Amino acid sequence: MHIIEHWIQRYHPVSTIVSNDLTIAGIRLFSYEKTPDRNYLYIGRTSDFVKRSQVQEVLLVHREDVISLRTQELEDVFDTIMDAFVFYQQWEQNMLSAFRADNPEQTIIDACADIFGPMFFTDNSLQITAFSRQYPKGSVNKNWDDFWDLGALSVDSLVHMQNGTYLEKLPQKWNCEIFYEKYADHYPYSMMISQENVEHELTGQLVIISQTSFEIYQKHLAFILKQALCLIAGHEKKTMQGSIIQNLFRDFLMGKRLDSTGFETFIRIKGWKPDQFCIVALLKKQPVFWKTSGYHLQALCAYFPELIFCESPDSAKDEIVCCIPVSETSTDFSDNRNQTVFPPSFLDIVSKLNFRCFCSYSFSGITHIYIQYLQARSASDRNVENYYFCALSDLVSLHKSNEVRCHAIHPALAKIQLYDQIHHTDFYHILYIYLECERDRVLTAQKLFVHKNTLVYRLKKITTLFCLDLDSVYEREYLMVSYLCAKQ
């Protein structure tokens, strides 16, 4: 909220901010007709929040935090705050993906040019490896001039910094310290953010200097800088990268950060293609009285660094959830209803660790991860290892959302439609008529105006290409209900 408060200064905000939450899921207009979500920021007029109030000034409310604005232009405020969300989400995305750059610390400093004053990064030998290039020699202070001349901290500069007045230490998880350097003219305030590797060893330090004392919103943004710096330090072992990805993946599983920024951050950090097919699998320890220790999670991460693992967001259950990039294939015969190829030895290792694997359907891209988790959960609840065998139940359920039901449609139908578009065939219609006629080939051939032998050839090709078992009662019923739901 402090970040938003700074962004909307032109409205002269009057704020009561009591929390230090760094994450707001999104922005919504307030309505009494809907139950507020504590993760969102709500915007409305005072009269919207307080019944019988005649005041029309705009209010921003997030949990116990309230910001009152001296304006009645609700749409203008909404657009302004949306701009803030876009700006800072893009900034955070750039921070957390900076480790991929040739000089990641310089990338971070360049991206902070509009937020902070002069910045520099030093390694453990006090060599300056990155700094704000838009501040030339003579524009800051004597210490800054030393950087240009020596490319390192001079002894005098180091002594002056050490003799600075200690002002504040931000919470331990941020590990940032703020000083006042009485010997530094013009820019006497500095914030020092430590870069640590996975063993918590100091590998460098980012220093931000300022003409005035640091504002609260800048201190909040220091947390993102800390994450980005440690992500760089831990990149070789991919441990910090994993923690960022795991947190983001876990947010997806809980239905949070399901927006373009969250998805793009995930893709950029993992280096996946936007159309990468993936499956969400729920791993449940067998026998059930064994507990899934952190060892198993670490072991799986070590075996398969290309996959993403995290503990189940359902704290009452002792499970591991993983996101598996897969290759789509079409085979002549397969017991895998997803028609996918898992990473080599994945199922073997999972079995050796005494896990049962409950899999969702595979989809292109990561935008379906939340629904895929619900599919894997549904398979686990029904004790079937492949969602295919319980998808029909979700499809006809009156208690499932439309989104869940749409994703439960038989995956073969979308593949048949795509095949028809590419090869100019009519397999989608042929299969529907065949099922509608209850597999009566003579009647089907008559309705399609084709010879019976032609129909037999085409049906064989359909079942072979798309791994369909039309002798299975479940398969036929699932396909027919999927056709009906697809029409709706």
- Going from N- to C-terminal start, the domains of the chain cover 2-87, 98-237, 241-388, 411-487
Question: Picking from 177-181, 343-347, 483-487, which range would have the lowest pLDDT averaged per residue?
Answer: 177-181
Question: Are the CB atoms for 172 and 192 separated by under 8 Å?
Answer: no
| CATH 3.90.1170.50 holds for 411-487 | no
CA 482, CA 247: separation in Å to the nearest integer?
35
Q: What is the pLDDT of residues 24-81, one digit of tens each?
A: 777 888 875 566 777 788 898 888 787 777 778 888 888 888 999 988 888 898 889 8
**What would the mean pLDDT of 422-445 be, rounded to a whole number?**
94
CA 285, CA 294: separation in Å to the nearest integer?
13
Write the DSSP assignment of 54-84 as a string of letters: ----EEEEETTEEEE-S---HHHHHHHHHHH
DSSP state of 343: P
Handedness of CA 151, 157, 159, 164 (dihedral sign): negative
CA 195, CA 234: separation in Å to the nearest integer?
10
The answer to whether residue 409 scores a pLDDT higher than 80 is yes
In one letter, which amino acid is 2?
H
Asked if domains 98-237 and 411-487 share a fold, the reply is: no
3-state class (DSSP) for residue 130 = strand
Residue range 98-237 forms a domain whose CATH class is alpha beta
3-state class (DSSP) for residue 356 = strand
Question: Are the CB atoms for 123 and 203 separated by under 8 Å?
Answer: yes
Q: What is the pLDDT of residues 242-255, one digit of tens each?
A: 567 888 898 899 88
Burial annotation 143-178 (CB, 10 A radius, 16+ → b, else e): bbbbbeeeebbbeebeebbeebeeeeebeeebbbbb
Query: Do the bridges between strand 40-45 and strand 26-29 make them parallel or antiparallel, or are there none, so unpaired?
Result: parallel
Q: What is the pLDDT of residues 125-175, one digit of tens each?
A: 777 888 888 888 888 877 788 777 776 666 666 666 666 676 677 665 556
Least Cα distance to 451 among 440, 460, 441, 464 occurs for 441
Q: What is the pLDDT of residues 228-245, one digit of tens each?
A: 888 888 654 444 445 678
